[in-house]
């Protein structure tokens, strides 16, 4: 399958307008006990406005056009916080990300899939002004099949994310 090039490989001035979607989120935190809290979130992203990628030359010719056909997507999350003592706080969470890419529109350039997240972290407070946070998340994306032209691919996203942060209030 040859790769289409609108310019024959020549460099040409142009532009690509990309309007990114707005995101709405409703979230909450409730201290249900002196040592326990729950937090929750529901997010909506209006990805359906992302229907195509189109590059246009300064003279108005179409250099590149690719149908994307995204759909609106949601994310739901639930977590807990445990306040062990004045120094230590522990957190855990779980989340589900709905992919904005419909199965029929998946491509090797955007092989997106639904994702499931597990997270844990801790805070150690040295005093009322200084603390350090450490966290880890595991993201597991579902296995998806992609058909692009005569080619077939399979994609599965997995990732470990680690973070640390020093906080100082003044």
| Residue 91 near residue 120, CB atoms below 8 Å | yes
Half-sphere exposure of 17 (CA within 13 A, CB side): 7
At 59, the pLDDT band (50, 70, 90 cuts) reads confident
Q: For residue 158, give the 3-state DSSP assignment.
A: strand
Question: Quick one: tokens of 69?
Answer: 């056909």
Per-residue tokens: 106: 């998946």
Side by side, the strands of the sheet bearing 52-57 are: 14-16, 52-57, 62-67
Per-residue model confidence (pLDDT) at position 110: 79
H-helix or E-strand containing 46? Answer: none
Q: Which residues of 19-42 are buried (b: 16+ CB within 10 A; e: fewer)?
A: eeeeeeeeeeeeeeeeeebeeebe
Q: Look up residue 50 and give its DSSP letter.
A: -
What pLDDT, on a 0 to 100 scale, did the predictor assign at position 6?
A: 58
pLDDT bracket for residue 9 (50, 70, 90): confident
User: What share of the chain in percent tops pLDDT 70?
Assistant: 96
Output the pLDDT for position 2.
53
pLDDT, tens digit, 9 for 90 and up, residues 19-51:
889 999 999 999 999 999 999 999 999 999 989
Residue carrying structure tokens 């230590």: 88
- Per-residue CA distances from 78 to 91, 116, 141, 167 (Å): 11, 12, 18, 24
What is the rounded distance in angstroms from the CA atom of residue 71 to the CA atom of residue 50?
8
The model's pTM: 0.79
Predicted confidence (pLDDT) per residue in 88-129, tens digit: 999 999 999 999 998 888 887 777 899 999 999 999 999 999
CA distance linking residue 156 with residue 111, whole number of Å: 9
What is residue 169's predicted lDDT score, i.e. its pLDDT?
Answer: 95
């Amino acid at each position: 399958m040859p790769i289409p090039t609108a310019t024959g490989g020549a460099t040409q001035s142009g532009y690509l307008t990309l309007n990114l979607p707005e995101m709405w989120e409703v979230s909450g935190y409730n201290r249900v006990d002196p040592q326990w809290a729950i937090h929750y979130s529901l997010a909506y992203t209006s990805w359906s406005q992302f229907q195509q990628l189109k590059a246009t030359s300064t003279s108005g010719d179409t250099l590149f056009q690719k149908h994307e056909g995204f759909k609106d997507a949601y994310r739901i999350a639930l977590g807990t916080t445990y306040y062990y003592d004045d120094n230590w706080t522990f957190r855990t969470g779980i989340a589900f990300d709905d992919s904005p890419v419909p199965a029929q529109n998946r491509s090797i350039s955007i092989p997106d899939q639904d994702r499931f997240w597990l997270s844990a972290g801790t805070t150690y407070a040295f005093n009322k002004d200084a603390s350090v946070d450490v966290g880890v998340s595991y993201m597991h994306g579902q296995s998806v099949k992609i058909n692009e032209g005569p080619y077939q691919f399979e994609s599965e996203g997995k990732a470990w994310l680690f973070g640390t942060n020093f906080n100082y209030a003044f």
